[in-house]
Structure 1
Amino acid sequence: MSSRISGPGLGSRSARRAAAVTPLLLAVLLSGCSSGGSGGTKASSAPSPRTESTATATAPASPDAAAYRRWGIDKPLAAPPAPPSAKLTDGLKPGAAPKVIRRVPTSDKVVFLTFDDGAEKDPEFVKMTKDLKLPFTMFLTDDIARAGTGYGYFEQLRGEGNRNSINNHTLSHPNLRTLSADAQRREICGQQDVLEKRYGGKPPLFRPPYGNYNDATLAAAGGCGVKALLLWEATMQINDMRYAQGDQLRPGDIVLAHFRGPSELKGTTMTKMVANMLRSIERQGFTVARLEDYV
């Protein structure tokens, strides 16, 4: 087993393909993407700088106040602090089981945004993230991401210097705990291969659908080159967030969000939902940092 960074599961979400939308998907959205997983000790660390083909470090540029106002946000988020000199996966041996991370251990008032699946491909969200220079991490499911305009949409979201990395969320979004070890390996390694072919390197981060995993998942992910299995502590809702513990954010929280559109958001657009989330983060005295600088 790997070292695990924190506690119990949260929420649940159905996989959705890009064709038909059912009322069930909206109900699932309101309770988050996934459930499952478990926790434990902090990861060991060593000196940091490192370059991944899907996650190239870059210093965040500061957006101006006018850019935020264009998207209905009163003022820019505070600049994040300098990242730590060591990352949670430093010193991890090749092929070892990945670190399981639900919350990043830090005293900085930062949180980390993650977006899953890839169903909604709203061009306005590309404009928004470019304007705000917003750091976030993507976990894409192949059969969902390929639909419609395909992976080209997410390449637009990577930002300057590939600020926003594209990572593994399996080929077809199954509940991995229901699959054999071989089937899990096909789902995880298959998507690693897809992303390596497209971007030139295996992504180091993986999120299991619904947050469900077991020892076979960890073994398969480690063998496929995954360094960290990412869970979450808060979920993005239409108007605010839902928390695994308490009723507010804590330093180092990972926030689970999804690529969603009006048909699943009661008419709300993805950009409005993200603006609501950013206002909540700022109201609670936090800012957004780049997950890859810590993990």
Structure 2
Amino acid sequence: MKVTVGSAALALAAAALLSGCSGDTGPAAGRGAPAQAKGPQARQAAEQARLAAAARRWGLDRAPLTPPPPPARKPEITPRDGFEVDGQEEEDLPPVFTTVPTKQKIVFLTIDDGAEKDPDFLRMMSELKVPYTAFLSNYLIEEDYGYFRRMQALGVTLDNHTLTHPYLPGLTYEEQKDEICGMQAVMKRQFGKAPTVFRPPYGNYNGDTLRAAKACGIKYAPLWDEEVFVDHWEYRDWDRSLHPGDIVLTHFRGRDDWDGTMVDDMRRFLNKVTREGYAVARLEDYL
């Protein structure tokens, strides 16, 4: 019987299939051996190359430094000298501090309020793997909770900065409690969790602020030691320098308020801390 070319091809394909089921585990012709898994050093080199490329893409002088692993034992957080209130220790009130006790060359980036919602900022920080903590006020984020949900999905911790950003010492205890506990309720409803970290607006507080914060489930009230703007830095301490464990503040701001964008602001921040040998660590890993 005459076999057509098409039938011959089918027969060869069937034979090859049967051969493949016969236990022969050698590589298929023309495909080569399976790719070998990269070892730790190769993976690290590939990640460093990726970070270097990302740094160039975002206009940085060099890639940010990688922070050390989180401490196995978290440091004890106490109020900064002079930042205590009456009853601080007796009532176990949340400590107000500007630096986390550590000897490692790390700083912590915190960003306040939520006014600017820049998608480029989210991409930049994600690509560079720079951790930060956001302190949010409801009146500035309620128009776009989704932006901050995307931020949260990238691993960013979202914390309490009151409902309306008032000058808290000018309010009664109950009014302060409404501001702080009200924002706790918003955070839980919108982001799934009420935070334990709170920053008073403008860095202003009194004893009632910390009592209200404690009543709302707050354990820590960090301020900052330095503040970075798109065109300059400001310092709390006389030496005008970064120190191990310093908390750095900036804001969600753009061209409407600054002569630049959040990307420009982060470029200034990252270039300085990296140049001075500091890595950016995740604040929550130390609390």
TM-score range, shorter chain: 0.7 to 0.9
Given that residues 58 and 124 in structure 2 are in contact (C-alpha distance below 8 angstroms), is that contact kept between their aligned partners in structure 1?
A: yes
What is the match of residue 264 of structure 1? 257
Q: Secondary structure at the match of 2:152?
A: coil
> Distance in 2 between the 1:215 and 1:247 partners?
29
Residues 88, 222 of structure 1: alpha-carbon distance in 2 compared, 3 angstrom cutoff? farther
1:75 deviates by 1.9
CA distance in 2, matches of 1:64, 1:84: 24
Deviations along 1:6-61, one digit per CA (max 9) or x if unpaired, are xxxxxxxxxxxxxxxxxxxxxxxxxxxxxxxxxxxxxxxxxxxxxxxxxxxxxxx8
Q: What are the superposed Cα offsets for residues 42-92 of structure 1, whole Å, 9 maximum, x if unpaired?
A: xxxxxxxxxxxxxxxxxxx865210111100132111111222233579xx
Query: 4+ residue stretches of structure 1 with deviation over 3 A?
Result: none
1:211 aligns with 2:203: yes
Q: Distance in 2 between matches of 1:134 and 1:240?
A: 20
Q: Does the CA contact (< 8 Å) of 2:76 and 2:101 recur in 1?
A: no
The corresponding residue for 1:97 is: 93
2:194 counterpart of 1:169: no
| 1:79 paired residue number | 66
SS at match of 2:101: coil
Q: 2: CA distance between counterparts of 1:96 and 1:228?
A: 11
Structure 1 partner of 2:241: 248
Residue 206 of structure 1 aligns to a residue whose secondary structure is coil
Aligned to 1:19: none
- Among 141, 150, 157, the alignment partner of 2:151 is 157
Query: Are 1:70 and 2:63 an aligned pair?
Result: no
| Structure 2 residue matching 1:275: 3-state secondary structure | helix
State the partner residue of 1:128: 124
- Cα RMSD of the aligned pairs, angstroms, is 1.7
2:166 maps to amino acid? P
Does residue 182 (structure 1) correspond to residue 174 (structure 2)? The answer is yes
Work out which of the two has the higher radius of gyration on C-alpha atoms and give 1 or 2. 2
User: Does structure 1 conserve the Cα–Cα contact (< 8 Å) formed by 2:75 and 2:102?
Assistant: no
Equivalent position of 2:17 in the other structure: none
Contact 1:240–1:280 (CA under 8 A) maintained in structure 2: no
Q: Kindly indicate whether the alpha-carbon contact (under 8 Å) linking 1:184 and 1:220 is maintained by their aligned counterparts in 2.
A: yes
Q: Which amino acid aligns with 1:166?
A: L
Deviation at 1:200, TM superposition (A): 2.4
Shift, 1:224, TM fit: 0.7
Q: TM-score, normalised by structure 2?
A: 0.75
- TM-score where L is the length of structure 1: 0.73
- Are 1:141 and 2:134 matched, yes or no? no
Q: Supply the AA of the counterpart residue of 2:152.
A: R
Task: Report the AA paired with residue 62 of structure 2.
Answer: K
For 2:275, the equivalent position in structure 1 comes to: 283
More helix by share: 2
